[in-house]
């Protein structure tokens, strides 16, 4: 029994069965979502557009991590490092060499992907914790290189990044960047959703679930693990490039080890190994950050005897707690809750 469909809907051809959007209601929902997102600048203020831009960029990065960790099972705790590679590639190319933004964007993805491959090589021989450690090492080595290769990256003082421009259009205001970022985010999500449904995506899942069995069935581990690393880090690089052009200024403080952990937290909370997981996870974590930012000055104002580190400390404490609680209470993340809700909604008022 297929409960993915509303009661009474049947598929009569394979193409129909495989379609992502199967009913008119699906299409209507998708269209209204797209219309809502792309008209958002008309009624959202600049501040919330900025938040939405950050969310969009983070969704791209988290989708990359989700392909690598959620689908293929290769835990990467150095994602912020790979994002940094992309950000700096794009920043250096557009600032120092004055290349166009699009070239910088693609180059950012490619360079981050290649660096990801280098640090992914150990995944051929080791897995699990060993690989996690090698990605931690990647994080620290990358940030060290960025901080000290002053001739190119500007080192600790950072580097200015010109705003993105395609053709004659320059994306300066939050609203114009919003369109650019949302377009790329939508493309990324669409790509990730479809990747998971192809031969490659199924090979990733097979490797995650049991790499030995996958290899016996003829899946080339070498090739697919490399592919996962490349795609995951490519998307990290794209996200990094967007981030660089969005903020206009880069230094390595934006890409700490703690951020890497936060990205993992996002896909855990959202539900790793699902297409909607990163979206849920990123939105919840970023909104939680907004909430913490909003609430802590208020608390500090009303309770004078709060410790001085309240504002800086409360955020990480909440996020750490949320990650731990999700792993214990709902390891399949919000995406699972969403699926449960959807199923019961579709079957309503019947119960199976």
Partner 1 sequence: MDELLQFAITGVTVGMVYSLIALGFVLIWKSSGVANLALGQLVLLSSWFTYGMLVQAGLPLWLGFPLVILFSLALGWMIERFILRPLIAQPILSLITVTLGVAYFIEGAVSFIWPKSVAALPRIFPQEVVRIGTAVVSQEYLWAAAISLVLFILLSLYFKYNKMGVVMRATADDQLAIQACGIPVTKIFSRSWMLACMLAAIGGILMSSIGGITFGLAETGLKAFSVVILGGLDSFLGAILAGPIIGLAESLGGGYLTPLTWPGIREVIPFIIIIIVMFVKPYGLFGEPRIERI
Q: Which residues bind partner 1 (CB under 8 A)?
A: 69, 73, 75, 77, 119, 121-122, 125-126, 128-130, 132-134, 136-138, 140-141, 144, 147-149, 212, 216, 257-258, 261-262, 264-265, 268, 272, 307-310, 312-324, 327-328, 331
What would the two tokens of residue 321 be?
Answer: 């707690």
Q: How far is the CB of 197 from partner 1 (least distance, A)?
A: 22
Q: How far apart are CA 263 and CA 323, in angstroms?
A: 11
Q: Shortest approach of partner 1 to residue 255 CB, angstroms?
A: 15
Specify whether the CB–CB gap between 276 and 70 falls below 8 A: no
Shorter beta-carbon distance to partner 1: residue 140 or 190: 140
CA dist., res. 13 & res. 131, Å (int)? 43
> How far, CA to CA in Å, does 326 sit from each of 30, 171, 304, 320, 334?
28, 38, 32, 10, 9
Q: How many CB atoms lie within 10 A of CB 237?
A: 34
Containing 81, the helix (H) or strand (E) segment is helix 79-95
* Shorter beta-carbon distance to partner 1: residue 147 or 176: 147
Angle, alpha carbons 187-221-129 (nearest 5°): 90
Handedness of CA 200, 203, 205, 207 (dihedral sign): negative
State which residue, 231 or 314, has the beta carbon closest to partner 1. Answer: 314
Structure tokens, 140: 């620290």
Omega before 349 cis (within 30°)?
A: yes
**Sole residue written with tokens 């969009």:** 56
CB of 252 to partner 1, least distance (A): 12
Residue 178 or 211: the one with the smaller Cβ distance to partner 1 is 211
Looking at beta carbons only, is 266 or 275 nearer to partner 1? 266
- Minimum CB separation from partner 1 for residue 36, in Å? 33
Indicate the length of the chain as a whole number. Answer: 352
Least distance (Å) between residue 271 CB and partner 1: 13
Measured from the CB atom, is 85 or 261 closer to partner 1?
A: 261
Beta-strand runs (E) in the chain? 159-160, 164-166, 169-171, 249-250
Q: Whose Cβ is closer to partner 1: residue 244's or residue 264's?
A: 264
CA distance 35 to 39: 6
Please state the closest distance from residue 260 (CB atom) to partner 1, in A. 9
Q: Which is nearer to partner 1, 41 or 70 (CB)?
A: 70
CA dist., res. 341 & res. 346, Å (int): 9
Least distance between partner 1 and beta carbon 122 (Å): 4
Dist CA 298 CA 62 (whole Å): 31
């Amino acid at each position: 029994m297929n409960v993915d469909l509303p009661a009474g809907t049947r598929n009569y051809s394979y193409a129909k069965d495989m379609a992502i959007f199967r009913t008119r209601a699906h299409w209507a929902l998708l269209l209204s979502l797209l219309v809502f997102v792309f008209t958002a600048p008309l009624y959202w203020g600049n501040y919330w557009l900025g938040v939405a831009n950050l969310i969009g960029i983070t969704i791209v990065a988290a989708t990359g991590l989700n392909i690598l960790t959620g689908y293929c099972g290769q835990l990467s705790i150095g994602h912020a490092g790979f994002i940094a590679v992309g950000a700096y590639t794009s920043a250096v190319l557009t600032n120092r060499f004055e290349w166009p933004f699009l070239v910088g964007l693609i180059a950012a993805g490619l360079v981050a992907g290649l660096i990801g491959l280098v640090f992914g090589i150990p995944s051929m021989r080791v897995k699990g914790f060993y690989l996690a450690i090698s990605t931690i090492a990647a994080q620290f080595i990358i940030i060290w290189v960025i901080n000290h290769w002053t001739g190119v990256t500007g080192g600790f003082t950072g580097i200015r990044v010109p705003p993105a421009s395609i053709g004659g259009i320059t994306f300066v205001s939050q609203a114009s960047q919003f369109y650019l970022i949302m377009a790329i985010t939508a493309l990324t999500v669409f790509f990730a959703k479809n990747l998971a449904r192809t031969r490659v995506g199924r090979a990733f899942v097979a490797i995650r679930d049991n790499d030995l069995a996958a290899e016996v069935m003829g899946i080339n581990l070498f090739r697919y693990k490399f592919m996962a690393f490349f795609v995951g880090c490519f998307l990290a690089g794209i996200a990094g490039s967007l981030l660089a052009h969005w903020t206009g200024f880069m230094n390595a403080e934006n890409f700490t080890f703690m951020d890497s952990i936060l990205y993992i937290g996002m896909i855990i909370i959202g539900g790793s190994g699902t297409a909607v997981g990163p979206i849920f996870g990123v939105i919840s974590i970023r909104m939680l950050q907004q909430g913490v930012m909003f609430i802590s000055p208020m608390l500090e104002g009303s309770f004078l005897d709060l410790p001085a580190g309240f504002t800086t400390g409360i955020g990480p404490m909440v996020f750490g707690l949320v990650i731990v609680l999700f792993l214990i209470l709902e390891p399949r993340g919000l995406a699972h809750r969403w699926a449960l809700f959807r199923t019961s909604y579709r079957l309503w008022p019947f119960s199976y």
